[in-house]
Amino acid sequence: MSRVSALARIEAMESTQAVPVTQYRHRRLSPKPLVVIPLVMAGEAGSPLAMMVGSAKRSGRLIIVGQPRNPDQRFRFAAEFGDIMMKYINEFRTNRREIRTKNKESRSQFVSAPQILVPNRGGIQTLKDLGRTCRFRKTTGDYPVPAVVPELGRWLTELADSAEQAGTSMLLAVTDLLTEHWATGQSTLEDQNLASVMAWIDPPRNVSVEQALLDAENPIICPPAGPSTSPEFDNRQLQPAIRDFDTARRSGVAEAIDLARQELHDLIGEQIKPTWRMMWDAIALLSAVPEAPRATKRFEADCAQFTAFSDYQDTGTALPQRARDNAVGAARRLSRLERAIEQFNADKAFDDPFVLADRRSDGEAFAGKVEAVEADRVVISDKNQLILRPRFVLRTLDPTRLAEGTTLISPSMPASHKSRIIATEHDLDSSLVTIEVTGGMGTPTKPTPGAIPEVGQTLAYLPDPGWRTKPRFPGADEPLWTHISTTPDPDISNSTTASTEEWGNAD
């Protein structure tokens, strides 16, 4: 946690009110998201109990499992949820448009992508678990399931995988969206409680934040937002209702079964509907926050990912995702996630002065005034050509921890501006950073106006997220790096230690 983030939490705690830590909302918020609230029994992580789902506040649909420990009922539940989920996803698989790539080629892409909102990160994990359970099921042979079940499993797995990547917006936890913009006076673990976060940001009318926080911890007033129910609710109310449903099923009387199911439906509805209303209140709060400029570009990446996976599913030969990544796949995933985090953090700092200040306090960015400029500096390139390479010195009071040679980008300069750190010299409480402009300044004969800083100008810089080279991974027909030796094996056939290496000298 940076100094600015820590200060914001202290301020929120002292004022008993959430403090904004960003100027913008850095995620795309769909005008028609699908809200999903999953519930599982406490202590039964792999057994779904209920799901409330809908794309409007007044059109929520509650699906329940009469006996969560019964596999047949679980897959009937998955099929019902899958019908709703696939109907929503298929709405985005109709309209396409042609876009131009960097290579000036044309490709078709969906104009939008779905967005699934769950209360907290536990909801994402529950959907991931459900996807893993469903995607390997067979639609023929022994114990078949409806065709929508494995299809749902593959889509849930894809959405859960996308949620691991920073900056994406197809599957999001609302608590993460709220705490990205507001700092509360509680721990990060408590920030996963939707009721607690909403108590800090927007407590109920005529209720203090302190009382709202106490109510959020009371499972009677604010039932848990999932994915697990309250153990007290399970023991006192849920288990008796499930036993009554099992008894009715064994009796075979249709009226008794319908009555028991309706009672169980109403009981679970009382637990989940407060969270449903709170979710839409949170969405309304987030909608009022202006969207960051670069969120549109990241949403385009979501559309491209959605299009690629959708087209693969339409081939008719689509296979379910692996149960576990192989070595190369895991390395590729890790590299992709690391680069996405760097890109997302850089985008936020580039767009948002609040985030930039946060990174400056941690030494991951800096800002200051230009003290000296060598605007007409020219060097000879490797191709024996004269190229313009201006340098300037910037004095900053920020901690400077970026290494020499780091490529920089600046929200204070034109978008094409690129530069790198040449040297950093500490001068009492400040630092003098020598920076060389490497791109976006034009030619020696036709320099671009405003591309070279002037003395007295205030600038801010942060690392270019793409300055590190992209790693190369072995192909399918190449041996893994773990099986390649870079040094030759020593010849120990004539070595005096060949026979004593393990046991030592006899004397």
Closest CA to 181 of 322, 327, 282, 331: 282
In terms of domains, do 374 and 248 share one? no
In terms of domains, do 314 and 363 share one? no
In terms of domains, do 171 and 240 share one? yes
- Within 8 A by CB and 6+ apart from 438, the residues are 389, 407, 418, 419, 420
The alpha carbon dihedral of 308, 313, 319, 320 has a sign of: positive
Per-residue pLDDT of the chain (507 residues; tens, 9 = 90+): 677 888 999 999 999 999 999 999 999 999 999 999 999 887 666 678 899 999 999 989 999 999 888 889 999 999 999 999 999 999 999 999 988 877 777 889 999 999 999 999 999 999 999 999 999 999 998 889 999 999 999 999 999 999 999 999 999 999 999 999 999 999 888 899 999 999 999 998 888 999 999 999 888 888 888 788 888 888 899 999 999 999 999 988 999 999 999 999 999 999 999 999 999 999 999 999 999 999 999 999 999 999 999 999 999 888 899 888 888 888 889 989 999 999 999 999 999 999 999 999 988 999 999 999 998 888 887 777 778 888 999 999 999 889 999 999 999 888 888 899 999 998 888 999 999 998 887 666 676 777 888 899 999 999 998 756 777 777 766 766 665 655 655 554 444 444 444 444 444
In terms of domains, do 160 and 37 share one? yes
Report the C-alpha gap between 100 and 274 in whole angstroms: 46
* pTM to 2 decimal places: 0.88
Number of domains the chain contains: 2
Q: Is 342 part of any domain?
A: no
In terms of domains, do 317 and 448 share one? no
In terms of domains, do 302 and 429 share one? no
Report the C-alpha gap between 107 and 304 in whole angstroms: 10
Cβ neighbours around 325 below 10 Å, total: 13
Q: Is 328 part of any domain?
A: no
Q: Residue ranges of the alpha helices (H) in 182-253?
A: 194-201, 209-216, 231-233, 239-251
Question: pLDDT digit string (tens) for 288-303?
Answer: 999 999 999 999 999 9
User: Cis (ω within 30 of 0) for the bond into 227?
Assistant: yes
In terms of domains, do 192 and 64 share one? yes
110 CB-side CA count, 13 A:
21
Residue-number span of the structural domain to which 391 is assigned:
349-463
pLDDT given for residue 46 in this prediction: 66
Tell me the pairing of strands 458-463 and 418-427. Answer: unpaired
- Joined tokens for residue 245: 């449903």
Which one-letter amino acid corresponds to residue 483? H
Report the C-alpha gap between 248 and 74 in whole angstroms: 18
- Under DSSP, is residue 416 helix (H, G, I), strand (E, B) or coil? coil
In terms of domains, do 300 and 361 share one? no
Tell me the pairing of strands 48-54 and 61-64. Answer: antiparallel
In terms of domains, do 124 and 58 share one? yes
Q: Is 492 part of any domain?
A: no
Report the C-alpha gap between 292 and 20 in whole angstroms: 14
